Amino acid sequence: ILRDLFHTDCNAVLKALQPIFQEQGMTETVHNWEDHGYLVTYIKKNGSFANLRIHPHGLVLVDLQSYNDHMKGREEVDQLLNKVEERMKELFHGNIKRVKRLPAILRGGVIDRYWPTADGRLVEYDIDEVVYDEDSPFQNIKILHSKQFGNILILSGDVNLAESDLAYTQAIMGSGKEDYTGKEVLILGGGDGGILSSNIDQMVIDGCKKHMRKTCGDVLDNLKGECYQVLIEDCIPVLKRYAKEGRMFDYVINDLTAVPISTSPEEDSTWEFLRLILDLSMKVLKQDGKYFTQGNCINLTDALTLYEEQLSRLYCPVEFSKETVCVPSYMELYP
């Protein structure tokens, strides 16, 4: 609740709201910081509690934590907040700039629905089932089911790909503008289905071939076919080996990791890893070949610009273009 307050207003707000919490049988503790307003805590016998923060500049915050995960508990919280809003409107005769009520966050639930975007925003997904949850020697692997997006692959807390995300696959393969007929293609990563592919984590492949078949089909059922082979290896030794053998590709598709959020390459080993991948990939790419990779959230302009600068530092000159797509399960635009 936002309104311009003075010190006397802070005291008036406290006096007006105290009875609402006291009616709930809550124990009250008041902290007064003179020119910095009030912090009041209310604790109920069942462990539920509320924090009331009254700022002199006009912001009044009410945070509630309840251990009731049933409809009655949620109704009680709504009724209490309704009373707070009504009392504030009465106190200031409706002269309040803004009232904002945020949805409740469920902590400690059996299913974790909260996952951050690349630029640090918290998203609550409509996840209703844990399909797969295992730790490999390299990372935690989760496959969760979303009502909107189908099964979602999450690696160490990072949303990778959902069954809804055809736009991602199409973009990283050139958005339908390329003809791969008879071409040599090297995919780095791509454990969710994807010609010659190198992925270090067998457990990602095992999980995806069972639970992500809408994205990978049956291609992962066999690691080798008439026109493709999947290598369960670290891609760096593979790239070095191919470079030494003189093996060249028409396309290299890097599906390993996004552009790092950090803008300090000298402090972030991921940037060093990306530079190494770029350099090695250029050594196995034909002169007229193409290299496709993902970027990161479009809001991370500094990191994306820094990645483009890395391209100018390669041992060979390159030209590049970029395309931005909306990846449904990411809930953000991705170049």
As a whole number of angstroms, the distance between CA 299 and CA 307 comes to 14
Cβ-contact 295, 259 below 8 angstroms: yes
Phi/psi-derived region of residue 332, left when phi > 0, alpha when psi is between -120 and 50, beta in every other case: beta
Counting every residue written for the chain, the total comes to: 335
Tokens of 300: 């991370």
Q: How is 226-265 classified by DSSP, letter by letter?
A: SS-EEE-S-HHHHHHHHHHHT--EEEEEEES-PPPS-S-T
CA dihedral (263, 267, 268, 273) positive or negative: positive
CA distances from 4 to 33, 109, 186, 276 (A): 18, 38, 61, 55
Q: Of the residues 255, 279, 288, 302, which is catalytic?
A: 255
Q: How is 113-164 classified by DSSP, letter by letter?
A: -EEE-TTS-EEE--EEEEEEEEE-SS-EEEEEEETTTEEEEEETTEEEEETT
As a whole number of angstroms, the distance between CA 236 and CA 233 comes to 9
DSSP SS3 for 35: helix
Backbone angles phi, psi at 145, to 5 degrees: -95, 125
179 is catalytic: no
Tell me which residue of 191, 201, 193 sits closest to 134, measured CA to CA.
201
Cβ-contact 112, 127 below 8 angstroms: yes
Catalytic residues: 255
